[in-house]
Structure 1
Amino acid sequence: MLSAFAALPALPMLLPTFALAQLSASPAGQTPATNPLPSWNDTAPKKAIFDFVERVTKQGSPDFVREAERIATFDNDGTLWAEQPLYSQLLFALDRVKVLAPQHPEWATEEPFALLLKGDVRAALAGGEPAIAKIVMATHAGMISMEFTEIVRDWIATAKHPVTGRLYTEMVYQPMLELVAYLRSNNFNNFIVSGGGIDFMRQWTDRVYGIVPEKVVGSSGKTKFEMQNGKWVLMRLPEISFIDDGPGKPVGIHEHIGLRPIAAFDNSDGDQAMLEWTTGDKSRSRFGLLVHHTDAVREWAYDRDSKVGKLDKALDAAPAEGWTVMSMKDDWNKIFPFGSK
């Protein structure tokens, strides 16, 4: 099925030739104390981050925020790790279709599964949200929660990005690992608030980002508590419970965290509501940052017309809202943990 991605926007082939640098189990161990953000160029976004953190953590500062209220939220796809050519969880679902196909002979003639099994990913996904929802429900439900957990753990340990050939957990942004660690060292409480599935992300975020499962907010399906073979289990149902995207993100923050963040880090229009919720209260110092994908050589360049991670309205709103817009090309001297740049 990987050949189906040949027509999709491709990362230049020089990237897979970089030497692999293993990720630390604790991102905080990756950054020297003298320069906590070494992969950030000495440009305006880096200065803005330092200035904000100093203001809210310095005792006696008029902007000082006590540790319990130093909440920072991070989107995941396109903010902490790569989201092109497709969202990683969708790629997980596509792989699961192949695995489950022998149990579903009806898929040979049922769309979008028939097209997927023929390797025509683009045509299968042309059905938009209804087609994607059908794929996700078929591959994420109908099993107990622990079974799904093991499937995700096995997949994330071995599955590789269709363009670079790297593990998905290697396709994370080194500058953002440094930022997460820097905020943690200044007693911020870091949360992931993503449109991705909460049960999918919680299996690996601690190892990759140092963000524990209980600090992950995401979309979810419905579950049912029931008895099976003499044991109580949580059965995953083919129904959506909550979509943590767009206006759902402030709701998810309220329901899972209970405090308004003072900092939010995002990359797309789907994150705009979270940025607005975070920075809308002017009674204290707050910070919002957009990761702008502008580097077609080391990663991808996309924004207003992209079907994945579209950044249009939020980009236009940034100046008036006071959000920092960070350019990958101009403001990062390194993209991924592997390689030299």
Structure 2
Amino acid sequence: MKTIRTFFILLLISGFFINCKQAAPSEATAATEVKEDPLPSWNEGATKNAIMAFVNKVTDPSSIDFVEIKDRIATFDNDGNLWSEQPIYFQLEFALDRIKETADQHPEWSSKQPFKGVLEDDMDEVLKTGMHGLMELVMASHSGMTAEEFDAIVTNWLSTAKHPRFNQPYNELIYQPMLELLDYLRANDFQTFIVSGGGIEFMRAWATEAYNIPSNQIVGSSIKTKFEYNDGKAVIRRLPEIDFVDDNVGKPVGIHKHIGKKPIFASGNSDGDLQMLQYTDSNEKLSFQLYLHHTDAEREWAYDRDSHIGKLDKGLDEANEKGWTVINMKNDWKVIYPFQLIKN
């Protein structure tokens, strides 16, 4: 099952209000500023306190740990960290649906693996084809079109496909507490970036709207592209070749290439994010490493060391050894998804 992760990585308000108490004519006028809770979907406790204490330190000009605004860089993994990733990576589900949708243009797929397995919903047969077969699926479902056409395909898929467990569009399965964290950091002059093993163009099609992160602040895996200019029309065409894998050791490389600064805040959920957190931990400035541990089988999923999706093993050990902050989803979050807020 390890090949599933390998497949995927190759694919790639808060605010405040002021209460003013009207003093009696004989008294001095007093005004007390009261800040709203910037993380209302987080339970009170060590995790929430640690996050807020760090932000207070690096944003307080009188603190020895003060960090200039230009250096307040925060990086977030996407799959399993900003949205769910079970029972299979959502971009993998997109690839499988794309194969089925275009199968009528490829009659040879009905007798050729791994396509035959996809069309027959037989993932065991698909996985038996190994890396070579999975690469065939990647290239068949993610290349051949222009960048604009791919964007439209992803957008259309998100508007129609629904998760089998929650019966919600996949882009509704983003984490409400993490949305609040992103807003909280930006309210304190952090630049927030996605640094994910997922496909950069797949994420750009929807992540800007979902997370309020501009497309130029999204770092991900990519396939090669080329420029074409025909009859006065300029396009970027996607090619069936891997360009960059933004996972494991690739994440610090991607950060260096696209951002050019070490983060002071990094958040992930799997061993694939470990090197990003290590890179952040090496910053001479005060830094914060945050792991999301999936512990809620009832509201989401519970998995870690033995999971074929989002495995958290070495990373969990290192987090415990170095004192990094680990979110216990079951205990630390009041709610998981935005659509659940209506019920709370």
TM-score by length of 2: 0.88
Does structure 1 retain, via aligned residues, the 8 Å contact 2:14–2:184? no
SS of match in other structure, 2:290: strand
Query: Deviation of residue 319 (structure 1)?
Result: 2.0
Q: Which residue among 127, 140, 143 is the counterpart of 1:141? A: 143
Gaps of 5+ in 2: 1-12, 18-34
**Code of the aligned partner of 2:252:** P
What is the CA–CA distance in structure 1 between the aligned matches of 2:306 and 2:85, rounded to whole Å?
15
Whether contact under 8 Å (1:31, 1:178) holds in the other structure is: no
Match of 1:130, SS? helix
Is 1:192 aligned with 2:194? yes
Correspondence for 2:89: 87
2:20 paired residue number: none
1:74 aligns with 2:73: no
Between the aligned partners of 1:34 and 1:260, the Cα distance in structure 2 is: 31
Q: In the alignment, what sits opposite 1:305?
A: 306
User: Does structure 2 retain, via aligned residues, the 8 Å contact 1:30–1:178?
Assistant: no
Q: Which has the larger radius of gyration?
A: 2
CA contact (8 A) 2:75 2:266 kept: yes
The alignment status of 1:115 with 2:142, answered yes or no, reads no
C-alpha contact (below 8 Å) 1:31/1:38 kept by paired residues: no
Displacement of 1:121 in angstroms is: 2.6
Distance 1:290 1:128 in 2: 30
> Counterpart of 1:90 in structure 2: which amino acid?
L
For 2:242, the equivalent position in structure 1 comes to: 240
How far apart are the structure 1 equivalents of 2:16 and 2:236?
A: 40
Q: What is the deviation of 1:132?
A: 2.5
How far does the alpha carbon of each residue in 1:100-145 deviate from its partner, in whole angstroms, 9 at most, with x for none? 1011111111111001111213431344443322211111001111
User: Matched residue of 1:192: which SS?
Assistant: strand
Code of the residue aligned with 1:183 in structure 2: it is L
| 2:327 is aligned with 1:329 | no
Is the Cα contact below 8 Å between 1:221 and 1:240 reproduced in 2?
A: yes
Structure with greater proportional strand content: 2
Q: Distance in 2 between matches of 1:296 and 1:129?
A: 30
Partner Cα distance (2:262, 2:269) in 1: 19
**Unmatched tracts of structure 1, length 5 or more:** 1-27
> Residue 291 of structure 1 aligns to a residue in which SS?
strand
Amino acid at match of 2:308: K
Distance 1:273 1:294, change over 3 A: same
Q: Give the counterpart letter for 1:249 in structure 2.
A: K
| Equivalent residue letter for 2:41 | S
Contact 1:31-1:37 within 8 A present in 2 as well: no
Q: Write the mapping of 1:190-229 to structure 2, written as runs, cut at 5 A.
A: 190-229=192-231
- Is 2:267 the counterpart of 1:294? no
Q: Take 1:321 and 1:275, find their aligned partners in 2: how far apart are those partners?
A: 11
Superposed displacement of residue 73, structure 1: 0.3
Q: What letter is aligned with 2:320?
A: P
Q: Which amino acid aligns with 1:316?
A: D
Q: Partner of 1:166 in structure 2?
A: 168
1:277 aligns with 2:279: yes
Deviation at 1:230, TM superposition (A): 4.3
Any idea what the Cα deviations from partners look like across 1:6-60, whole Å, max 9, x if unmatched? xxxxxxxxxxxxxxxxxxxxxx379995111111111111000000000000012
**CA–CA distance in 2 between the matches of 1:240 and 1:127?**
19
Residue-by-residue CA offset, 1:250-278 (whole Å, 9 max, x unaligned): 00000000000000010000000000000
TM alignment of 1:311-322, pairs within 5 A:
311-322=312-323
Following superposition, the deviation at residue 94 of structure 1 comes to: 0.6
**CA shift in 2, pair 1:94/1:30, >3 Å:** farther
- Deviation, structure 1 residue 322: 2.6
Counterpart Cα distance in 2 of 1:210 and 1:296: 29
Shift of 1:229: 4.6
Q: Give distance in 1, aligned partners of 2:128 and 2:178.
A: 32
What residue is the counterpart of 2:6 in the other structure?
none
Q: 1:61 aligns with which of 53, 63, 69?
A: 63
Counterpart-to-counterpart distance in 2, 1:289 and 1:229: 50
C-alpha deviations, 1:178-223, integer Å up to 9, x for none?
Answer: 0001001001000000000000001111111111101000000000
Inter-CA distance 130–322: structure 2 relative to 1 (3 Å threshold): farther
Residue type at the aligned position of 1:335? I
**2:119, 2:186 → 1: CA distance?**
44
Q: Is the 8 A contact 1:193 1:217 kept in 2?
A: yes
Preserved CA contact (<8 Å) 2:176 2:338: yes
Q: Distance in 2 between matches of 1:55 and 1:217?
A: 27
Say how many residue pairs are matched. Answer: 313
Q: Which moved more, 1:224-233 or 1:306-315?
A: 224-233
More RCO (CA 8 Å, sep 6+): 1
Deviation at 1:308, TM superposition (A): 0.5
